[in-house]
Chain A
Amino acid sequence: MIRLLPPVHWPSVRGRARADAGPLTLAALVVAAVTVLAGSVPVLLTSTADQAVRQAVRAAGGQAEIQVRADWEYDDGAHGGRVRNPRSAESLDDLRDRALDQLGALRDQMSPPIEFAGGPYLKIVNGDEPRSFRLGYVAGTSEPAVTWVSGAAPRASSEHPNAEVAYTGDPWPVQAGISETAAARLGVGPGDRLQTEDAKGNPCDVRVSGVFRPVNRTDLAWQVAPWLLDPQSGADGPGITRFGGLLDAQSLPDARLAFNPDEVSRTVRFRPDAEVLTLDSAQRIAAAVVRLKATSGSSASHEGAAQWSTQLDQVLRDVRERVDAARAQASVLLSAVMLVAVLILLLAAQLLAGRRAAALTVARQRGTSIVALGTELLLESVLLTVAATAVGALIAWAAAGGVAWGWLLPAGVCAVLAGPGFGMVTAHRATRDKRNPANRSARRWAERTAALRRLTAELAVLAAAAIALTVLHQRGASPSAGGTVLLPASAPALGALTGALLLLRLLPVTTGLALRQALRSTMPLAVFGASRAASAARRVLPVLALVASAALATFALTLSSTIGAGLADGAWRSVGADARIDLPDQPATTTTALINRIAAAPGVRHAVAAQVTTATSVIVGGASRQVRLIAVDSAAYRELLAGAARTPLPALPAAAPGGPVPVLVHSPEGTLRAGDSLDLRTEGAPEATLTAVATTDAIGDTDDTVLADAAALTAAGVPVVPNTIWVTGSGAAAAAKAAVGATVVARTDVLRERREAPLVAGLIRLAWASTVTLLALGLLGFALDAAAGAPERWQTLSRLRTLGLRTREARRVAAGELLPLALVAALGGPALGVLLAVLTLGPLGLRLLTAQPGNPVLVLPWVGLVVVVAAFLVMVVAVVRVEAAVRRRNRLSEVLRVGGA
């Protein structure tokens, strides 16, 4: 019978495992720890991505809405006029039902639809302040409940439900309810006619039927038209306050007749149900929405045909980019941990083979074949790896609710094969018949061959690192960019390996120089320490493992600190100061009094009022763009920024009389440039020309931003009504919160919210976990290397003690031997880590997580760097002390009896 496997001598397997329980346990711990991290992170990342999608959809608000719009049915009458359609509300229901049909199965992912019909922009002509008015009809499953404080619900304006109205007649009257707030601000009540006119100056007949109070302000239906409840500042242009009039099923047909057929919208709005969304389902919705948008465009001109529009696909694309960026960054960190884990496992296997050298040699001499030895060692490593992986997977499953196996492969394979590999090589070398060649040229040839082999391996690593870095810079490490993520994501790890190889080349040269210098000195301990260090400097794996671990731990720390600083900067940009007050519509005198009060509050450094209008339309180079327009006292704002140590704001030149208004621009995508001319069109104000005198990074976040001096803008005829107050100083938030009726946004709150966002919090936690793991692995590698070199080290020190070296001097010599490796890890590693961060953080898309207009500025984690440096140096002291304590029990004579050259 043919035996497939060589015979296994089980007592040897058990004996070896018992004798080397310590190193085997350490290897198992490394495998288990890596399994916990690499097994749980991808699973956690998936659930975090789902959370991120839900949060993004919630935060997007109206942007995440899907709008289905359709023209009303033709209302031409038989006598050349327009016919009132009393079933207009049912017509909206019909549009809703058709949209639901088109959504199909995706309707389960949506919140209940909201029907909305809105009138055109109307100007309130009485009063000094610029005010606008719009009519709106909203309904969920039914119209939102209201309580009529005075008057009654709107009624039909005509007793004839199907009345026909001439095109050229007087304005058709329409009844609407207004909210308590609006009624108070406008000073109107039931039965009053609002003084309004349309954009062309034609008067409109809007009558107040009653004043209402919403039963439930949080009713989803109100969210599509919040201005029906409260006047909204800036909604129709800078300085313009919008008021709303509520229609119902009775008055909606009159509103249609009061305006041109295409001026009253007919829409149904869906919002994804954030509670049930996942990244996958969001992608399906986005794809379906894009398809519906594309197919509906061509048929939109047909009567009643639905036209789909939404920015949900953009919202989901943005969140997908953030998820991809987080995945790329997580892959980078996992690659780093995996590389160092593999190196440490190799180091442990090498130590184990060294400890077992004598036993393996004896086994070979007794006739055990290399294959049989390899099989026995393989059995041991497989059992160990399976057990450690199972324990790690169990912990990962408990922590993350699942285990991802892909990342475990490198460490698993290494844990299985390294031990047998080193063991077989050790046994083979100990018993092979090959000897070192006697003649010098043959020895030189052998040395050159070995050097060439090493150089080839080093060049291969260098080439891999260069390719990975190039791919990372060309297309990033985003999964959606196509191709494998592994290669670009491993760029920092491969870079660390390449740097470690370079330091490995330099270390013997450095220790050789140190030895030469020591020999010239009169310090005997320096000579002995340097000589031991020079002996130890040629060990490959310890240098690679320690330098890589220190470098990648520093990289992870730098990633974390850079994200942290980027988030802080992003929060500042978002708020604009330490605190921001979003003012309700109020008289300018009230605002001035409020600023004075806040500026006098304790802990407030600066308080500046501004008018900030998002989505302001400007014409640049013939194209319309939406920008964020800031009108502020530029000198005061410059002082505010200077006081907060932010990027200085360039000075704005005074505007020439009748000339363009000089402005500063900030454009992340570069669409606005210095020298651009911008035409600003505001309802009810003359067109103003702005000229960009400079670009600046001091203002704005992710949107195009235009900053103009408030006085210059006012002089150009553009109304400026402050709606924002920026406050800086330690007491800014407290002082701002004293502003009654305003919305206060504190920078610390925004920062906390962003830090706690699922993707960011998850990534920062992973960066910290990676740092701790990498540093722990590095220190473990140091301890393993020290353990591997301890017998030889203390043998030599014992010899030196026979020459008269004192015990404490022996400890210093031991420290001298260990110090170069510690120093190269403690100094070279962090330097390499920072270099890798400089080279690779850019393409990782950190700005997507920090919400900054550009990639965050690299921030060095000084405290972390000190910890990394100190950890390795402290380890030298600890190892020497422990070794000395262990060796103290052995008499000098016993150590020397062991022998060794």
Chain B
Amino acid sequence: MTAPLVTVRGISRTFGAGPTAVHALRDVSFDVEAGRMVALVGRSGSGKTTLLNVIGGLDRPDAGSVLIDGEDITGLDEDGLSQLRRDKVSYVFQTFGLIPVLSAAENVGAPLRLARTPAADREQRVRLLLDLVGLADHAEQRPGELSGGQQQRVAIARALAASPRLLIADEPTGQLDADTGRSVMALLRGVVESEGVTVLVSTHDPVMMALADRVVRIGDGRLEQ
């Protein structure tokens, strides 16, 4: 058994206070081994996104700890979290989040620019990733000129650009039709194999769950497995 890349221990997160408080996460603990694809499933409002946000450092838990590659990220300040996102964790969102005036290649190269990667290395890496996601021929097209599935592929390529240890995808197929969604999930499965990246993906599509190495169920803020 490989060492866990992500270790979640006793995470709780509550929004609001008093009688209207919403307990999004209650004492959640689990591990994710490196190089695995884990599907996080549950109904809407079950706490999937909150859990992904806490693991990715976009939100802070009220209690508990999250260790990524052995580092407790709950104690990091804003700069520390930014560095974490630059080096180890990347995201794919339901709504793609591409920069509209930049081409697909420039969008993919954005994290490499932040990492000050030399231009030649950056261009080589972008070409490789666009080839990986099957968009080598669309490198110069802008997001507005691409279909939804293509845009999500660009977003995945961008998320992989800085060679993260962990890729968090929050319902990446939510805005795609079933066929396109499946192809995107297959792509994610493929990058786990090819890039050795650990993927944590939230979904409620049973077909997509089948592609994951492990399925973690969550309901009412608690793990159900």
Q: Is the CB of A803 within 8 A of B110?
A: yes
Of residues 22 to 80 in B, which have CB atoms within 8 Å of A's CB atoms?
49-50, 53, 56, 58-60, 78-79
Query: For the complex, what is the distance from the CA of A534 to the CA of B143, rounded to whole Å?
Result: 15
CB distance from A517 to the nearest CB of B (A): 14
Partner of A524, one of B56, B60, B114: B114
Q: Closest CB of chain A to B51's CB: distance in Å?
A: 11
Chain A residues whose C-beta falls within 8 Å of the C-beta of B110 in the assembled complex? 524, 527-528, 800, 803
| Size band of the interface chain A makes with B | 20 to 34
A804 near B162: Cβ-Cβ < 8 Å: yes
Are A901 and B98 in contact, with the CB atoms below 8 A? yes
Indicate if B86 sits at the interface (CB-CB under 8 A): yes
Closest CB in chain B relative to A400 CB, distance in Å: 51
Flag whether B207 is at the interface (Cβ < 8 A).
no
Residues of A close to B134: CB separation below 8 A = none
Q: Which of A803, A891, A897 contacts B49 (CB 8 A)?
A: A897
Assuming the contacts A900-B95, A901-B98, asked whether A805 and B82 have C-beta atoms less than 8 A apart, the reply is yes
Q: For A524, list chain B residues within 8 Å (CB).
A: 110, 113-114, 116
- Residues of chain B within 8 A (CB-CB) of A801 are 82, 85
Closest to B116 in A: A522
B3 an interface residue at 8 Å Cβ cutoff? no
Given the contacts A527-B110, A531-B102, A901-B98, A806 and B93 also touching, CB distance less than 8 Å = no
How many Å from the CB of B108 to the closest CB on chain A? 11
Contacts of B96 in A (CB 8 A): 901
Q: How far is the CB of B141 from chain A (nearest CB, A)?
A: 14
Of B59, B95, B99, which is within 8 A of A892 by CB? B59
Contact of B99 among A528, A807, A899, A900 (CB under 8 A): A528
Known: A524-B110, A527-B113, A803-B111. A892 touches B58 (CB 8 A): yes
Can you list, as one digit per residue, whether each of A397-441 has a CB less than 8 Å from chain B (1) or not (0)?
Answer: 000000000000000000000000000000000000000000000
Q: List the A residue with the shortest CB-CB distance to B57.
A: A892
CB distance from A510 to the nearest CB of B (A): 14
Question: Within the complex, what minimum Cβ distance (angstroms) separates A530 from chain B?
Answer: 9
Which B residues lie within 8 Å of A897 (CB)?
A: 49
Chain B residues lying within 8 Å of A805, measured Cβ to Cβ, are 82, 114
Q: Does A274 contact B (CB under 8 A)?
A: no
Instruction: Contact check, A519 vs B106: say whether CB atoms are below 8 A apart.
Output: yes
Q: Does A515 contact B (CB under 8 A)?
A: yes
Please encode chain A, from 881 to 893, with 1 for each CB lying within 8 Å of some chain B CB and 0 for all others: 0000000000111
The answer to whether A901 and B85 have CB atoms under 8 Å apart is no
Give B103-133 as 1s and 0s: 1 = Cβ < 8 Å from A's Cβ atoms: 0001000110111100100000000000000
A528, B93: Cα distance in complex, Å:
19
Q: How far does the alpha carbon of A531 sit from the alpha carbon of B98 in the complex, in Å?
A: 11
> Bound complex: CA of A802 vs CA of B102, how far in Å?
17
Provided the pairs A897-B49, A899-B94, A901-B143 are in contact, do residues A804 and B59 lie with their beta carbons within 8 angstroms? no
Contact B86 A804 (CB under 8 A): yes
The CA of A807 and the CA of B50, in the complex, are separated in Å by 21
B56, B87, B99, B158: most-surrounded residue (chain A CB, <10 A): B99
**Nearest Cβ on chain B to A518's Cβ, whole angstroms:** 10
In the bound complex, what is the Cα–Cα distance between A900 and B59 (angstroms)? 19
Hey, which chain B residues are within 8 Å of A891, CB to CB? 58-60
Question: Does chain A have a CB within 8 A of B83?
Answer: yes
CB distance from A893 to the nearest CB of B (A): 4
Contact of A893 (CB < 8 Å), options: B53, B87, B116, B143: B53
Q: Is A896 an interface residue (CB 8 A)?
A: yes
A379 nearest CB across to chain B (Å): 35
Do A803 and B85 touch (CB < 8 A)? yes
| Chain B: interface residue total (CB-CB under 8 A) | 38
Q: A803 CB to closest chain B CB, in angstroms?
A: 5
User: Chain B, 121-164, contact with A by CB distance < 8 Å: what is the 0/1 string?
Assistant: 00000000000000000000001000000010000001000100
| A804-B85, A897-B49 as given contacts; A522 in contact with B90, CB under 8 Å | no
Q: How far is the CB of B196 from chain A (nearest CB, A)?
A: 20
Q: Is A626 an interface residue (CB 8 A)?
A: no
Chain A residues within an 8 Å CB radius of B113 = 522, 524, 527
Min CB–CB distance A524 → chain B (angstroms): 4
- Cβ-based interface call for A233 (8 A): no
Tell whether, in the assembled complex, residue B101 and residue A804 are in contact, meaning their CB atoms are under 8 Å apart: no
Between B96, B101, B151, the greatest number of chain A beta carbons within 10 A of the residue's beta carbon is seen for: B101
The smallest C-beta distance from A482 to any residue of chain B, in angstroms, reads 53
Residues facing B in A842-901 (CB within 8 A) are 891-893, 896-897, 899-901
Could you tell me which residues of chain A, from 789 to 826, have a CB within 8 Å of some CB in chain B? 796, 799-807
Please, which residues of chain A bring their CB within 8 A of the CB of B111?
Answer: 803-804
CB neighbours (8 Å) of A519 from chain B are 106
A12 within 8 A of partner (CB): no
Q: Determine the chain B residues whose CB is within 8 A of the CB of A534 once the complex forms.
A: 101
Q: What is the minimal beta-carbon distance from B222 to any residue of chain A, in angstroms? A: 20
A671, CB-defined interface residue at 8 Å: no
Query: What residues of chain B lie closer than 8 Å to A803, measured between beta carbons?
Result: 85-86, 90, 110-111, 114, 158, 162
Q: B114 near A896 (CB under 8 angstroms)?
A: no
Q: Which of A269-284 contact B (CB under 8 A)?
A: none
Q: Which residues of A contact B97 (CB under 8 A)?
A: 796, 799, 802, 896, 900-901
**A796, B99: Cβ atoms closer than 8 Å:** yes
User: Whose C-beta in chain A lies nearest to the C-beta of B78?
Assistant: A807
Within 8 A of A (CB), among B173-219: none
Whether A480 is near chain B, meaning CB under 8 Å from some CB there, is no
Which A residues are CB-close (under 8 A) to B78? Answer: 806-807
In the complex, which residues of chain B have a beta carbon less than 8 angstroms from the beta carbon of A730? none
Contact status of A802 and B85, CB under 8 A, knowing A519-B106, A527-B113, A891-B59: yes
Interface hub of A534, A799, A802, A896 (most chain B Cβ within 10 A): A802
A522 to B119, CA, bound (A): 8
A802:B58 contact, CB within 8 angstroms: yes
Chain B residues with CB under 8 A of A893: 49-50, 53, 58-59
Closest residue of B by beta carbon distance from A898 = B95
- Proximity bits, A505-548, B CB within 8 Å = 1, else 0: 00000000001000100101001100100110000000000000
A528: B residues at CB distance < 8 A:
99, 110
**A804→B116 CA distance, assembly (Å):** 12
- Is the CB–CB distance between A531 and B101 below 8 Å? yes
**Complex: chain B residue closest to A512, CB-CB:** B101
A527 CA to B86 CA in the complex, in Å?
Answer: 17
- Minimum distance in angstroms from B165 CB to a CB of chain A: 14
Which B residue's beta carbon lies closest to that of A524?
Answer: B113
Q: Which of A527, A802, A804, A896 contacts B83 (CB 8 A)?
A: A804
Residues in chain B near residue A522, CB distance under 8 A: 113, 116, 119
Contact A802 B91 (CB under 8 A): yes
Cβ-closest chain B residue relative to A802: B91
Chain A nearest CB, measured from B189 CB (Å): 22
A515 to B98, CA, bound (A): 16
CA distance A383 to B110 in the complex (A): 50
The proximity string for A residues 767-803 relative to B, scoring 1 for CB distances below 8 Å and 0 otherwise, is 0000000000000000000000000000010011111
CB contacts (< 8 Å) of A800 on chain B: these are 110
Q: Which residue of A lies closest to B158 (CB)?
A: A803
Contacts of A807 in B (CB 8 A): 78-79, 82
Known pairs A524-B113, A801-B85, A901-B95 / 14 extra A-B pairs, C-beta < 8 Å:
A515-B101, A528-B99, A531-B99, A802-B58, A803-B85, A803-B110, A804-B86, A804-B115, A804-B162, A891-B58, A892-B59, A897-B49, A901-B98, A901-B143
Point out residues on A near B: beta carbons under 8 Å. 515, 519, 522, 524, 527-528, 531, 534-535, 796, 799-807, 891-893, 896-897, 899-901
Closest 4 CB pairs of A and B: A804-B86, A524-B113, A799-B97, A893-B53
Which residues of B are at the interface with A, using a C-beta cutoff of 8 A?
49-50, 53, 56, 58-60, 78-79, 82-83, 85-87, 90-91, 93-102, 106, 110-111, 113-116, 119, 143, 151, 158, 162
Pairs across A and B, CB under 8 Å, 22 listed = A524-B116, A535-B101, A796-B97, A802-B85, A802-B91, A802-B97, A803-B114, A804-B114, A804-B162, A806-B79, A892-B53, A892-B58, A893-B49, A893-B50, A893-B53, A893-B59, A896-B93, A899-B94, A901-B98, A901-B100, A901-B143, A901-B151
